[in-house]
């Protein structure tokens, strides 16, 4: 089992994706994960793809998002993952 730690920092907005980009560590090594705007809209109540709508949806659901991110880090062994809407369909 991997040791996965999530940063408490606010995520960075990536307008090109659009997504929120977050820091973590996996077994002491730097890792990142992104959650798409679509996932935040579909499952966490974000009203638009704008950062000012995505961030509150992320922050109020951070625990559920990090639980799914942790499971995906564990399953894939990757150090960068992207959480899409489908990852939350049955998870939350």
| Summary mean pLDDT of the chain | 96
pLDDT in single tens digits along all 92 residues of the chain: 899 999 999 999 999 999 999 999 999 999 999 999 999 999 999 999 999 999 999 999 999 999 999 999 999 999 999 999 999 987 75
Q: What is the CATH number of domain 4-86?
A: 3.30.160.140
The stretches of 1-92 forming alpha helices (DSSP H) are 37-44, 51-60, 62-76
Share of the chain above pLDDT 90, in %: 95
Q: pLDDT by residue (tens digit) across 4-16?
A: 999 999 999 999 9
**How far is residue 57's CA from residue 59's CA, in Å, rounded to a whole number?**
6
Q: Residue 85: helix, strand or coil by DSSP?
A: helix
Q: What is the pTM of this model?
A: 0.94
Domain extent listing, the chain: 4-86
Q: How many CA atoms lie within 13 A of 9 on its CB side?
A: 13
């Amino acid at each position: 089992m991997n040791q996965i730690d999530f940063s408490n920092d606010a995520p960075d907005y990536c307008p090109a994706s659009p997504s929120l980009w977050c820091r973590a560590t996996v077994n002491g090594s730097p890792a990142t994960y992104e959650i798409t705007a679509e996932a935040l809209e579909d499952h966490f109540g974000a009203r638009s793809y704008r950062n000012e709508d995505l961030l509150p949806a992320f922050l109020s659901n951070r625990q559920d998002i990090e639980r799914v991110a942790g499971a995906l880090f564990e399953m894939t062994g990757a150090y960068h993952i992207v959480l899409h809407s489908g990852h939350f369909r049955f998870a939350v």
